[in-house]
Structure 1
Amino acid sequence: MKQQIRPALVLFGLLTVLTGVIYPAIVTGVAQAAFPQQANGSLLVRDGKVVGSSLIGQNFTGNAYFWGRPSATGPMPYNAGASGGSNLGPTNPALADAVKARVALLKAADPANTLPVPVDLVTASASGLDPDISPAAAQYQLGRVAAVRKLAAVEVQALIDAHTTGRQWGALGEPRVNVLALNMALDVASTH
């Protein structure tokens, strides 16, 4: 029995050091050298303080800000510790009720807006943490944000355009607007 336990413990210790210390150290070192911004959480800083990550959505509810996709995480929105979608199917009455309530909220925030409500403003993403909205969702909110901030629509449009990211490698995904980065730029534009 001792002949079997000793090699097993040595192998266990060796694999623990290899996979628990050496491999993570190498991967962390390569990530820090090649992708330092991403390896450190893609944090966005304003006035020397971290205000969020460009990879995780935040709950903006004020009319002076662009709103992101709804979050299905609990107990609070955009809770990275509880990432996950709502798991409600398209025929589920609870999803239909939630979408109707979100549409009503958007219409109440901007009653003069006659544009169709983009689907990404009323449905949660699979992770519940999506930091981006479609350019159509940004366009839908442009009038409300410009009016509340007393900015010209063309100025807000320029900010949307500056914060719109195209398809990855020109073919993958859809164009998107990072809500936190756009709202940070709006804050700067409003103070000048």
Structure 2
Amino acid sequence: MQSILRPALVLFGALTLAVGVLYPLAVTGIGRVAFPDQAAGSLVTHRDKVVGSALIGQSFTSPRYFWGRPSATAPMASNAAGSSGSNQGALNPALAETVKTRRDTLLAADPGNMAPVPVDLVTASASGLDPEISVAAASYQAGRVARERGLARARVDELISRHTVAQHLGFLGEARVNVLALNLALDNEPRPAR
């Protein structure tokens, strides 16, 4: 029995040390050297203060800001500690009601906007933490944001264009806009004279 147990325990200890301690330390060290910003959480600073992460969506509700993709995380929206989707299927009546409520909220915030509502403004993602929206979703909101801030629509469109990230490798996914970066750029805009 001892001839079987001792090698098994030694192997268990060696593998625990190698895979549970040495490998994570090596990967963390390489990550911090090769990708220091990403390894630190891709933190975004504004006016010498950390205001979020470029990888985690935030909940913006003021009409002066662009709104991100809805979040189904619990117990509150955009809860990074509780990444999850709603797990509601396309035929679920609760999902249809949630989408209708979100659409009504968008229409109430910008009643003159007759453009079709982009799907990513009324549906949550699988993680519930998307930091980005489609260019169509940003363009849909541009009129409201320009009006609320007293900016020219062309200036807001220019900010959207400047903060648009192209497809990966030129063909994977779609172009997108980081909501936090765009809203911070709006906050840096000079206030129009009244």
The equivalent residue for 1:134 is: 134
Cα shift at 1:191: 5.1
Once the two structures are superposed, residues 156-189 of structure 1 have per-residue CA deviations (whole angstroms, 9 ceiling, x without a partner) of: 1111001101100001001100001111111111
The equivalent residue for 2:178 is: 178
The equivalent residue for 1:27 is: 27
Determine the C-alpha separation between the residues in 2 that align with 1:191 and 1:75.
36
Aligned partner of 2:65: which letter? Y
Determine the C-alpha separation between the residues in 1 that align with 2:77 and 2:84.
11
Determine the C-alpha separation between the residues in 1 that align with 2:90 and 2:8.
52
Q: Please tell me whether the aligned partners of residues 121 and 137 of structure 1 are also in contact (alpha carbons under 8 angstroms).
A: yes
Once the two structures are superposed, residues 126-172 of structure 1 have per-residue CA deviations (whole angstroms, 9 ceiling, x without a partner) of: 11111110001000100111111111111111110011011000010
Q: Give the secondary structure class of the aligned counterpart of 2:21.
A: helix
RMSD: 1.2
Q: How does 1:136-151 map to 2 (within 5 A)?
A: 136-151=136-151
Determine the C-alpha separation between the residues in 2 that align with 1:102 and 1:122.
5
Determine the C-alpha separation between the residues in 2 that align with 1:184 and 1:50.
12
Under a length normalisation based on structure 2, what TM-score does the superposition of the two structures give? 0.95
The equivalent residue for 1:14 is: 14
The equivalent residue for 1:94 is: 94
Number of residues of Structure 1 aligned to a counterpart in Structure 2 = 192
Aligned partner of 2:44: which letter? L
Q: How does 1:3-82 map to 2 (within 5 A)?
A: 3-82=3-82
Aligned partner of 1:72: which letter? A
Cα shift at 1:37: 1.2
Determine the C-alpha separation between the residues in 2 that align with 1:37 and 1:27.
15
For structure 1, the 5+ residue unaligned runs are none
Q: Give the secondary structure class of the aligned counterpart of 2:189.
A: helix
Determine the C-alpha separation between the residues in 1 that align with 2:156 and 2:169.
27
User: Which deviates the most, 24-33 or 1-10?
Assistant: 1-10
Cα shift at 1:21: 1.4
Q: How does 1:111-122 map to 2 (within 5 A)?
A: 111-122=111-122
Cα shift at 1:190: 4.1
The equivalent residue for 1:2 is: 2
The equivalent residue for 2:109 is: 109
Q: Give the secondary structure class of the aligned counterpart of 2:138.
A: helix
Q: Please tell me whether the aligned partners of residues 151 and 190 of structure 1 are also in contact (alpha carbons under 8 angstroms).
A: no
Identity of aligned residues (%): 62
Q: Give the secondary structure class of the aligned counterpart of 2:56.
A: coil
Cα shift at 1:29: 1.5
For structure 2, the 5+ residue unaligned runs are none
